[in-house]
Homo-oligomer: A and B are copies of this chain.
Amino acid sequence: MAKDKKPRRPRAETPRGFRDWFGAEVRERGEMLAAITDVYHAHGFEPLESSAVETVEALGKFLPDVDRPNEGVFAWNDEDEGWLALRYDLTAPLARVYAQHRNDLPNPYRRYAVGPVWRNEKPGPGRFRQFYQCDADTVGSASPAADAEICAMLAEALEAAGIPAGDYVIRLNNRKVLNGVMEAAGVLDPSDPEKFAHERGIVLRAIDKLDRLGDAGVRALLGEGRKDPSGDFTKGAGLSPEQAEIVMGFVAARRDTGAATCMRLRELVGTSAAGVEGVQELETIAELLDAAGLGADRAIIDPSVVRGLGYYTGPVYEAELTFEILDEKGRPRQFGSVAGGGRYDDLVKRFTGQAVPATGVSIGVDRLLAALRAKGRMGGETAGPVVVTAMDKTQMAAYQAMARELRAAGIRAEVFLGGGNMGKQLKYADARNAPVAVIEGEDERARGVVQLKDLALGARLAADIETHEDWKAQPAQMEIPRAQLVQGVQEIIARGGLGTGTGRG
């Protein structure tokens, strides 16, 4: 018998690439998402929470830079249901939901969705395998007005979340214009759309890396290929220098005004029908955004924006934060993109055989939260609850009554429930970032008073105070009649300036 053998204890660890979120992290994310989704809701979008688990066949393979089936997703073979997987984004599930429920949904169907998605990718610093997305999409409208609305709504959502005008810009482009340029360059034949599809994929991904690789790097990838500093060689699209020149002309087509950029794009697409249509759409979107008050300071046409995903078919857009932050080495750098999206007219067609026009945007929730923290607009010191210490364990009912009185007055409050003396209890109150500790021992109870300890002031004093006399002169602790508990605590909190309301604010 193995009875004497100690069973191995399980490791108390998340799997690699997964993490937990604590306290203020959870509340801050919740508040930011509430601000954003309130904007979406005001625009007539309805919430949708789709199943986290999908069949692998319904999810399809739309992850960027992933070739093998099921690569990039967490999947398992269910006895009854076949291969199931965790969703990797909120767009593929939307296409499935729309195809499944389209007869019961309004048309167009406009929804927002918030929730975790899972990617089976190599984890790295700051790179997790479960993270939040926040999406808004319009399914069933082919109108550029739908694209313009998403962009205008995104701007409003960013401002509601705490990114003011001037700190972000919405950058717009159109895949149809890029296709027009590809036509002009001879790497797209409208009569045989599959031809050169592989080359165009390389072109797309090369342009998407312009920020990182620069002009020369992109040119190399358009041509024979590129050797990176480590010596690894990436095969290029094999375009001739003349062809590459046309593509690079597109990438650099941005001019001072939207109108001037569109004029330049018209030259580049030449006689391509798709290209001309794409430029017209961009002009319509730009006009609508302008009418909505989003001038060139907040929304611009930028042909270098292509978005990596293969499924976009028309307008694409992204929101970039324009302020600088310091990177891990202390160097200033642009914060970069926090949201992106575009038009994808073929995702629903996978299920139904009929093309359904759709457009939408996804916000990178963790990146936007990081931006708000970097700007000091979130994540400042937050006060914990008032802690009622429990000196005399026979008086728990009386201590609970104090906490209840404080809560009834809108003050977050709890009774210390652990073991230990006053020192340990005050240490706990400090760890909780409590603004006030309430103390009532036998003596206080007999005299009908309580002691209030101003912990915020106590901490400041401990940091600043020079002499023992200074310390004694400071009123970091005061005695008040038990009947004035609420008033006394309110006064200390007011002078500390830290909110500790019971609400979600």
Contacts and interface: CB of A to CB of B under 8 A. Distances in A.
A24 to B, nearest CB: 8
A75 B74 contact: no
Interface in A11-43: 11-16, 18-23, 26-27, 30, 34, 38, 41-43
A interface secondary structure, majority: mixed
Nearest to A123: B80
Given A11-B58, A16-B81, A22-B46, A146 B291 contact: no
Given A20-B97, A23-B47, A138-B417, A57 B504 contact: no
Interface stretch (A224-232, A396-404, A440-448): A396-404
A497 interface: no
Nearest to A102: B12
A43 B500 CA distance: 12
B404 A13 contact: no
B10 A42 contact: no
Contact of A16 (B30, B41, B80, B142): B80
A432 interface: yes
Interface string A108-141: 1010000010101000000001100000001011
Given A12-B96, A38-B504, A44-B412, 17 more contacts: A9-B351, A10-B55, A12-B100, A12-B351, A12-B352, A13-B58, A14-B54, A15-B78, A15-B81, A20-B97, A21-B47, A30-B47, A110-B414, A145-B390, A145-B400, A149-B417, A288-B397
23 contacts: A9-B352, A10-B55, A11-B351, A12-B96, A13-B55, A14-B54, A15-B55, A15-B78, A16-B80, A20-B50, A22-B48, A22-B101, A41-B412, A43-B385, A43-B407, A52-B130, A53-B118, A107-B418, A110-B414, A141-B417, A143-B396, A146-B417, A287-B397
